[in-house]
Structure 1
Amino acid sequence: MDKAVIIGAYEFIGFHLCLSLLEKGVEVIGIHLPSLHDDDYLEEKRLSVGRNSNFIEKDETFFEPGQSLLDNSVLFIDYYSYYRMHKENELESMINQSIVNGAAQCILIVPVQLSNKTFAADFPLQLVKRQKDFQIYYLPTVYGPWQPHHFTFQKALLNPDKPLKIDKREWTNDALFISDVITRILAQVEKKENLEILLESSINDHWYKAASTILKNTTIEKTNEELKVNEDIVVLQVDGTILSEGVETQKRHLVRLKQLK
């Protein structure tokens, strides 16, 4: 991979993809959609990538008629982050067929809930599946540095003594550490196989065990929703970061961010 376009370059998954690809020497066009989200640490994120000559930032004008992707670029869509913000409808209204068609390979990252058979016909899954080269990744809750404030773990670290309400879109049956997710996705992308892949932790009850070390005064329950995974989806277990190390890494990163404010 020489060139990549990331829709949601400053969102949780997209930003970590951006950092990893730049580290590998890949040219990255990062699409930031300020009308959908501006987080408290946007400037810190810009500083992290802005000095890299391989990075170019674009905004909503990227979706205007006449815009096209770089030749042979891989398109990453961080649908996962917009879904968690309840902004997926706005994202869908921007993405059009010509943008997706212009990619050499299209990588769609979505929440595990969309692996349910009842979602199989929904946008953006079918749009991406029409491409010659595509991969779709279904993720449970992901945690680690730069986790957004509306995720339960980050919210608990920011307000350690307050009872919290867990967002209904947080998948509490499983969790993965962010660097393990990015490593697995980028390794699989290089194989250029057309696959739908659900990533799950090799640690049983990963979310619950991580939450138990962070949450206070909050009732912790697993998601009741039953997952009926489409038969076309490959389920891959992810090994990697020790749970306690992942939680501590997120804590230390948040402390550093607070010091910058």
Structure 2
Amino acid sequence: MKLGEEGIVMDKVVVIGVFDFVNFHVCKAFLDKGIEVRGVQLETEVNEDMINEKRLEIGRNANFSEVSLGEISNHSSEYETIVLSVYDLYMRHKEDFLLADQLISKIINRNNWENIVFVVPSQLLRNVIDSKAEVVIEDFLKRIISQNKDCYILYLPTVFGPWQPETFMFQSSILTEMDRGKPFKGLREETCDALFVEDTVKSIIEIIENKEPGKYLLQSGKRDQWNLCAALLQINEQGLNNSKAEIMEEDLTKIIVPSTVPLSAALTRQIEHAHRINADK
């Protein structure tokens, strides 16, 4: 870590779940800034072909190394930032990993991280947390925060773009059009807002570098953004619950994520990427 004129300049980061959706883009964005990244592949991944594709994208970067949770536990640097995307686990129906492997909690609670960053689904901001998945995540975060008060907790709505898993309705629809789809597990994503992943990770890094630890909700600042994306993908929105839930957090900072490309162009990138990686399957 270095202190620059505009805030913290990170030089070392650990990304847990590096081959998940949002965290993979976070890793790439850090590497593009010349930051050294140690990435941990969680054993929840099942598609080895997809992992190998992602390794090809970042594996040649001299600042990237793939390590195990055990190596992170045994060999740490004093000024490293750690990033865990609980959001990705939630969207892949893998949140029970937070219960099954206590090593993650032990690593985070080591207390010598420069920054501790959690990326979480915005559904956790509702006044009523009633699903088992959300309870698991909330309990995990409470345990960590009780020992580490200064954490970044970044709440995200639907995030879309290349590498979006098929547990999102957008990607499921694209793969179904290609006759590559699998039975949809049910809607988990936030349908009140949507953010392009490349814009999202830029804002994530800017928050870590320039703002104090705390709770941040990332938003598009636009009305019916999710519905607009769904319409462009010709998704039937009938029967979906798009009502905004009342937010229960008082100490929450709302961040508008600047949009760098039109929705149609961003979704086209996702569609073209889905066609490319599934062309020979």
Q: TM-score, normalised by structure 2?
A: 0.82
1:205 — aligned with what? 224
CA distance in 2: counterparts of 1:146 and 1:223, whole angstroms: 24
Q: Please give the residue correspondences for 1:99-178 in structure 2 after superposition, counting only pairs within 5 Å.
A: 99-100=108-109, 101-118=111-128, 122-128=139-145, 130-131=147-148, 133-160=150-177, 165=184, 167-178=186-197
1:219 — aligned with what? 238
1:91 — aligned with what? 98
Q: Please give the residue correspondences for 1:36-51 in structure 2 after superposition, counting only pairs within 5 Å.
A: 36-39=44-47, 40-51=49-60
**CA deviations over 1:106-156 (Å, ceiling 9, x no partner):** 010000011234559632245146425421100001000111122111111
2:11 — aligned with what? 2
1:98 offset after TM fit, Å?
4.1
Letter in 2 for 1:127: I
CA distance in 2: counterparts of 1:160 and 1:229, whole angstroms: 38
**Percent identity, aligned pairs only?**
34
Letter in 1 for 2:83: F
Q: Give yes or no for the alignment of 1:53 onto 2:73.
A: no
Q: Cα RMSD between the aligned structures?
A: 2.5
1:186 offset after TM fit, Å?
0.5
Letter in 1 for 2:276: R
Letter in 1 for 2:117: I
Q: Is the 8 A contact 1:133 1:192 kept in 2?
A: no
Stretches of structure 2 lacking an aligned partner (at least 5 in a row): 1-9, 130-134
1:250 — aligned with what? 270
Q: Please give the residue correspondences for 1:230-245 in structure 2 after superposition, counting only pairs within 5 Å.
A: 230-240=249-259, 241-245=261-265
Pick from 12, 26, 29 the counterpart of residue 21 of structure 2.
Answer: 12
Aligned residues: 258
Q: Give yes or no for the alignment of 1:185 onto 2:195.
A: no
Question: Which moved further from structure 2: 128-137 or 22-31?
Answer: 128-137
1:75 — aligned with what? 82
**CA deviations over 1:24-73 (Å, ceiling 9, x no partner):** 11111101012x1223411110111111121111234347xx52432200
CA distance in 2: counterparts of 1:115 and 1:205, whole angstroms: 19
Q: Find the residue that maps to 2:117 and give its secondary structure.
A: strand
Question: Which moved further from structure 2: 132-141 or 179-188?
Answer: 132-141
CA distance in 2: counterparts of 1:251 and 1:29, whole angstroms: 30
Q: Is the 8 A contact 2:194 2:225 kept in 1?
A: yes
Q: Find the residue that maps to 1:148 and give its secondary structure.
A: coil
Q: Find the residue that maps to 1:96 and give its secondary structure.
A: helix
CA distance in 2: counterparts of 1:177 and 1:122, whole angstroms: 29
1:225 offset after TM fit, Å?
6.7
Q: TM-score, normalised by structure 1?
A: 0.88
1:23 — aligned with what? 32
CA distance in 2: counterparts of 1:197 and 1:130, whole angstroms: 20
Q: Find the residue that maps to 2:118 and give its secondary structure.
A: strand
Q: Find the residue that maps to 1:190 and give its secondary structure.
A: helix
CA distance in 1: counterparts of 2:246 and 2:12, whole angstroms: 35
Q: Find the residue that maps to 1:173 and give its secondary structure.
A: coil
